[in-house]
Amino acid sequence: MTGLPVPWLDLTDVAGRRPHPPTSLDRRRRARRASPTSTAVLVEQAAAVGVAALRLSLVVQMVPALAAGVQISARPHAYVVLWSLAVAVAVLGAGVVALRRRPLPAPLVYADVAAAVLLLTLAGGTIPVEHRIGSWVGWTAGYALTVACCSGTLRSTRGWLLSLGLVVAGYVFYVGPLAAGPALPTVIANALGYVVLASTVRLIVWYLRRISLIADRAQAEVARLARLEEEHRAQLAMHDATAVMQLLADPTLPAALRAQLQTQAVAEVRRMRSYLRHETGVTEAPGSAPGLRAVVAEACDGFADLGLQVRTELLDDQQVDPATAAALVSALRTVLHNVRRHADATAVVVHGDVDEARRWTITVSDDGCGFDLRLTPLGVGLRTQVVDELAQHDVDVHLDSEPGRGTRVELSGTAGT
């Protein structure tokens, strides 16, 4: 084939333009479309936003209480130091979360909890007892509640329970002097509030993570099915074309058969071009051949070298819808390509019949070498382009073959109106 002109392989489009290779920008855009952000990542980003917002809102509420706290504290310098330490930890944590775009990792969450417990323990010496409940002068309780809620992003349930327990224990120690008076119900209610609010955050985060896991699995399954569908389309587009090209590459091919195959190659190039353009379907429409007899005639065109005997008079009044007709043309061509490549047949008969229930049958029989169906799996052509593709159009396929006794392929379905 070297040096032979093959104008039917010209892949220019209708306007005569050749496709340009994709630029680096095109490749980046395609990569972004092909690799969307997973739901799990989006959930973690949302949790990070929530954590950062909680911590920064805590700081906003702590700022107005600083001046009043300094005035009423018995140890104002220590009060300012603890207040500054709490603000620094809160802002630092929010900054880390914003940069990571994920909640704090477990070690930093545990360090955050430890800092909250330490502040609860030390704040008792700087905040008057009467201001430890219901006042932002006693900011430590609000700070500890924020830390308890943020610990709900921990993935370890045991670690979260330990963190919540330590914060609640620190709060009880902080307000302990109030437990002996009338403020006891408030102390108990606030301690329970820590548990309820932190558990609510924990439940919401767990639920969203669970949903994201299901969503990402579904997305992966959709991607897998899309790959399978693309492989299926590629098989439909390329199988018969490779059969034609393989024969054309044979330097001993008779001139008459070469001209016949080149005509078939033109149709196969169109099919491949449709596939590359992502156009719907990979088979050619049967044009002005709505009847089954015309469908068979179109499919057999180009296989004169097989010495076909076509007997389809009984199909004259039988019609199928255009999609089924296109699938039949493609399937019959695939069967005939297989006969040409593998059967080594001297006679091929294509016969059409219709029973009383208006169920039609198209049979392709050859006297070739045959094969053992029990030992030889169906190839891509018979399995994908014949059996699987026709099943989508309610056309049944039956294969019968034995070594040395040829092969018989029956396609049967119900005629349309």
* CATH fourth-level superfamily of 285-414: Histidine kinase-like ATPase, C-terminal domain (3.30.565.10)
Q: Which of 368, 367, 364, 365 is nearest to 344 (CA)?
A: 368
Please, what's the b/e burial string for 272-301 (b: 16 or more CB within 10 A of its CB; e: otherwise)? Answer: bbbbeeeeebbbbebeebebbbbbbbbbbe
Provide the residue type at 386 as one letter: V
Strands in 308-311's sheet, in edge-to-edge order, are 308-311, 348-354, 359-366, 407-414, 396-401
Outline where 63-105 has alpha helix (H).
Answer: 65-72, 76-100
Position 50 scores a pLDDT of 94
Q: Which positions of the chain have pLDDT values less than 70?
A: 1-36, 232-233, 235-241, 243, 246, 259-260, 263, 267-268, 271-272, 274-290, 380, 416-417
Q: What is the structure's pLDDT at 287?
A: 47
Query: Which DSSP state fits 413?
Result: E
In terms of Cα–Cα distance, which of 287, 241, 237 is closest to 264? 241
30-56: per-residue pLDDT in tens?
544 444 578 899 999 999 999 999 999
Looking at residue 360, its pLDDT comes to 92
The pLDDT of residue 34: 45
396-401/359-366 β-pairing: unpaired
Q: Rounded to an integer, what distance in angstroms lies between the CA atom of residue 327 and that of residue 340?
A: 20
The reported pLDDT for the residue numbered 32 is 47
CA atoms of 214 and 40, how far apart (whole Å): 9
**What's the pTM?**
0.60
CB 56 within 8 A of CB 90: yes
Spans of all domains in the chain: 39-217, 285-414
H or E stretch covering 7: none
- DSSP E strand boundaries for 316-406: 348-354, 359-366, 396-401
